[in-house]
Structure 1
Amino acid sequence: MSKRQSSKYKLDRRLGENVWGRPKSPVNKREYGPGQHGQRRKGKLSDYGVQLRAKQKLKGYYGDISEKQFRKTYDEASRRKGDTNENLIALLESRLDAIVYRAKFVPTIFAARQFVNHGHIKVNGRRVNIGSYRVRAGDVIEVREKSKQLAIVLEATQLAERDVPDYIEVDHNKMVATFVRAPGLTDVPYPVQMEPNLVVEYYSR
């Protein structure tokens, strides 16, 4: 289960953006923040505020990852050769729960983490129940045979609001996906603009 206790849509309203591109997001009707002070005019954010907001948005998009886990991912991205921004996105997109979500096996990233935790997913034929499990290029992810007819799975495959990105190959008849490669920022179909460069600046202070 996700550690988020409050409604996931509160993140949308707090940031003023439809972070997951969901048609039911309250931001589609109310572009102001939650609470009795939500409609007050917002002051201009400081550089730190802009960086913090970018971090909250990226962290929240992947199911509100804990700060400890997100920082650990950033640290690994900064140690790797190449662009830290691109490395960070590649690591986040390599999470098992993210791939289950991208493959449209479930409707939301929160459902993906729960689905993995409950043992419905196998990687290369072996059951894995850790959402943060790092998937490598060429790995095969599949829904367990007993889980293929679950209502949540059948509903997700019919969703028209998002497509499967080209770095994942999916056969929805067999409920099998292959992680082709780790993507770059421009390959990822975020419904809103993500700014990993600001996240890097935040942690580099």
Structure 2
Amino acid sequence: MTKRIHAKHKIDRRLGENIWGRPKSPQNKREYGPGEHGQRRRGKLSDYGQQLRAKQKLKGYYGNITEKQFKAIYHEASRQKGDTSERLIGLLERRLDAAVYRAKFVPTVFAARQFISHGHVKVNGRRVTIPSYRLKEGDVIEVRDKSKDLGMVLEAAQSSERDVPDYVDVDHGKMVATFTRVPTLSDVPYPVMMEPNLVIEFYSR
């Protein structure tokens, strides 16, 4: 069961962007925030406000990541060699739930978590029920045979709403995908601009 019990698209309205690029987002109809004060003109954000917003947007995009988990991913990225922003994105995209979503086996990142938790996914031939499972280059992700004909899976695979990125090689006929490489920020098909550099600044204050 998903941890998020409130309307998912309130994230869109609060941030003022359709962060998943979905046609059903209320942000497409009401370009103002939720609540009685939502239509007030927004003031200019401080540096801290911009950093916080960038963090909320990136964290919210991946669905059900808790603050504790997200901060731990940042700390791990900061310990690795190279650009911390790029490392952060790479670690997020290596999550199994992110890869299942990228492969278009499910329609949303929220559905990906539930799909994995319910035992519908195998990695390298073994069933994995941990959405945060970290993939390595060359890992093969497969929808279990009994789950391949689920309506949600078939609908997601045929959807033209989004494309599969080139770091995930997918065969929708067999419902098998290979995580070919760790992507950089420019590789990831975010519908809106993500600013991981501001997330780094937020946590390194």
* TM-score > 0.5, shorter chain as reference: yes
After the TM superposition, which residues 160-199 of structure 1 pair with which residues of structure 2 at under 5 Å, given as runs? Answer: 160-199=160-199
User: 2:67 corresponds to which residue?
Assistant: 67
Q: Distance in 2 between matches of 1:5 and 1:166?
A: 33
Using the TM superposition, give the Cα deviation of residue 43 of structure 1 relative to its aligned residue in structure 2, in angstroms: 1.1
User: 2:91 corresponds to which residue?
Assistant: 91
Q: Which amino acid in structure 1 is aligned with residue 38 of structure 2?
A: G
After the TM superposition, which residues 77-156 of structure 1 pair with which residues of structure 2 at under 5 Å, given as runs? Answer: 77-156=77-156
Q: Distance in 2 between matches of 1:196 and 1:96?
A: 20
Q: Distance in 1 between matches of 2:150 and 2:141?
A: 17
In the superposition, the TM-score normalised over structure 1's length comes to 0.99
Using the TM superposition, give the Cα deviation of residue 64 of structure 1 relative to its aligned residue in structure 2, in angstroms: 3.6
After the TM superposition, which residues 1-40 of structure 1 pair with which residues of structure 2 at under 5 Å, given as runs? Answer: 1-40=1-40
Q: Distance in 2 between matches of 1:38 and 1:52?
A: 19
Q: Which amino acid in structure 1 is aligned with residue 13 of structure 2?
A: R
In the superposition, the TM-score normalised over structure 2's length comes to 0.99
Q: Which amino acid in structure 2 is aligned with residue 123 of structure 1?
A: V
Which 5+ residue runs of structure 1 have no aligned equivalent? none
Q: Which amino acid in structure 2 is aligned with residue 87 of structure 1?
A: R
**Per-residue deviation, residues 93-139 of structure 1 (Å, max 9, x unmatched):** 00000000000000000000000000000000000000000000000
- Asked whether the 8 Å contact 1:16–1:32 carries over to 2, the reply is yes
Q: Distance in 2 between matches of 1:159 and 1:13?
A: 24
Using the TM superposition, give the Cα deviation of residue 170 of structure 1 relative to its aligned residue in structure 2, in angstroms: 0.2
- Asked whether the 8 Å contact 1:140–1:177 carries over to 2, the reply is yes
**Per-residue deviation, residues 142-174 of structure 1 (Å, max 9, x unmatched):** 000000000100110011010000000000000
Which 5+ residue runs of structure 2 have no aligned equivalent? none
Q: Which amino acid in structure 2 is aligned with residue 180 of structure 1?
A: T
Q: Which amino acid in structure 1 is aligned with residue 201 of structure 2?
A: E
**Per-residue deviation, residues 42-83 of structure 1 (Å, max 9, x unmatched):** 111111110000000000000141000000100110001100
What percentage of residue pairs aligned between the two structures are identical? 76
SS for the counterpart of 2:100 is helix
Segments ≥4 residues shifted beyond 4 Å? none
**Per-residue deviation, residues 178-201 of structure 1 (Å, max 9, x unmatched):** 000000000000000000000000
Compute the RMSD of aligned alpha carbons.
0.6
Using the TM superposition, give the Cα deviation of residue 5 of structure 1 relative to its aligned residue in structure 2, in angstroms: 1.4
Q: Distance in 1 between matches of 2:136 and 2:63?
A: 20
Q: Distance in 1 between matches of 2:200 and 2:64?
A: 18
